[in-house]
Amino acid sequence: MTTERSERLYGLDHLRSLAIVLVLLFHYRAFKHPEWIEIMGKFGWTGVDLFFVLSGFLISGQLFKEMKYTGTISLKTFYIKRFFRIIPTYFFTLFLYFTVPFFREREALPPFWKFITFTQNYGLNVIDQGTFSHAWSLCIEEQFYLFLPLFLLLIMPSKLFKYLAALMVLFIMFSIIMRLVLWNTSIVGMETNSLEFWRTWYMTIYYPTHTRLDCLGVGVLISHCMQYSSLFKKGVHQNGNGLFLVGVILLGITFWICNEQASEMASVWGFTLVAVSYGCILMSAVSASSFLAKWKSYITTELAALSYAIYLSHKGIIHIIQTLFERFDLESSDAICMIICLVSCLISALLYRFFIEKPFAAMKDRILKRSK
């Protein structure tokens, strides 16, 4: 959601655009909506997983390149860049949620301290305190941004760095094991589709960082192999369209397995299968031989650039538009209202860009220039 776009990697813009569209379709199901959105948006939850794969790939890639050319990582530079990319926009949205009740898609908010410490994804009771619940994924990304460079600096002088790919596989396996254990200790025996079942499933399986390392791990794994294995890199660049086909087929199989999102099979294995599927598609997107990498689109480039602001604000914007429709006795569940809601999300994101993101990006550049 928050990764910075590379102008050379057009394929990643397509994937980021796909991710935000998937998220919008999935979350729109929580509001009044046309019936067909239930089908179109059913697997939209995987949009967040795609964002995670992209973040793992791009952020680790930046760090790997810095390590290769400088022999170290400048934590100061890295954290300054992350701060100005993420915090101003996020804190403004947080300000809206806590000071403008009309912006809230629901009433009850989790405690403020959980949002500002990026720990909201732990103990998140989405049934009773689901307002701004989608910030959970940003919490995971922030934790990732905090610990990844520290972890790399720690293992860089040792032989462990040579086995980073294996470590990423272990991280992925750790998440699978944690989900299996938590399913058997916290979920088994509960009445399926009861409120308590969903409350527990989200709190123990879906939201915690330690159960959602799959996609970030896959992104880091691909980035590491692209950077340090010439054979792997050559294979990716020579087989771009094939990787895309494999990824789509795997994703189709994954959707079949995850047809019931909170089933045991989907809960234990689903996130990993999604990660591998999107990992194959990501490799296609960066492959020199892939149609994804060669295809340039102004629409996906712009949508990708707006995706972070859209992600943060879309629930509040949709809630406002639908509430206004209802106050004027207009139909809020049809396609016309949906189109107006989505266009409003784009307009809101443009306002974020011009009044928050651009000024703070300029401030970041000045600070980095002075620190050199």
Q: pLDDT tens track of the chain, all 372 residues?
A: 665 444 457 999 999 999 999 999 999 999 999 999 999 999 999 999 999 999 999 999 999 999 999 999 999 999 999 999 999 999 999 999 999 999 999 888 999 999 999 999 999 999 988 899 999 999 999 999 999 999 999 999 998 999 999 999 999 999 999 999 999 999 998 988 899 999 999 999 999 999 999 999 999 999 999 999 999 999 999 999 999 999 999 999 999 999 999 999 999 999 999 999 999 999 999 999 999 999 999 999 999 999 999 999 999 999 999 999 999 999 999 999 999 999 999 999 999 999 999 999 999 999 999 876
Q: Give CA–CA dist 142/7, Å, rounded.
A: 24
Q: Give CA–CA dist 230/341, Å, rounded.
A: 46
- Reduced to 3 states (helix: H, G, I; strand: E, B; else coil), residue 117 is coil
Here the tokens at position 114 are 């959980």
> If you write DSSP's letter for every residue of 237-259 in order, what string do you get?
HH-HHHHHHHHHHHHHHHHHHTS
Q: Give CA–CA dist 231/220, Å, rounded.
A: 17
> Which one, of 108, 137, 266, 256, lies nearest residue 192 by Cα?
266
> Which one, of 274, 344, 369, 364, lies nearest residue 24 by Cα?
344
Distances, alpha carbon 171 to alpha carbons 39, 148, 216, 247, in Å: 33, 13, 10, 22
Q: Check if the beta carbon of residue 219 is closer than 8 Å to that of residue 54.
A: yes
- Radius of gyration of the chain, Cα coordinates, nearest whole angstrom: 20
Burial of 80 from C-beta contacts in 10 A (0-12 / 13-18 / 19+): middle
Here the tokens at position 75 are 């934590």
Compute φ and ψ for 217, nearest 5 degrees.
Answer: -65, -40
Here the tokens at position 325 are 């429709």
Q: Give CA–CA dist 281/285, Å, rounded.
A: 6
> Which one, of 161, 163, 131, lies nearest residue 30 by Cα?
131
Burial of 71 from C-beta contacts in 10 A (0-12 / 13-18 / 19+): exposed
Residues 292-319 as b/e (b if ≥16 CB within 10 A, e otherwise) read bbeeeeeebbbbbbbbbbbbbbbbbbbb
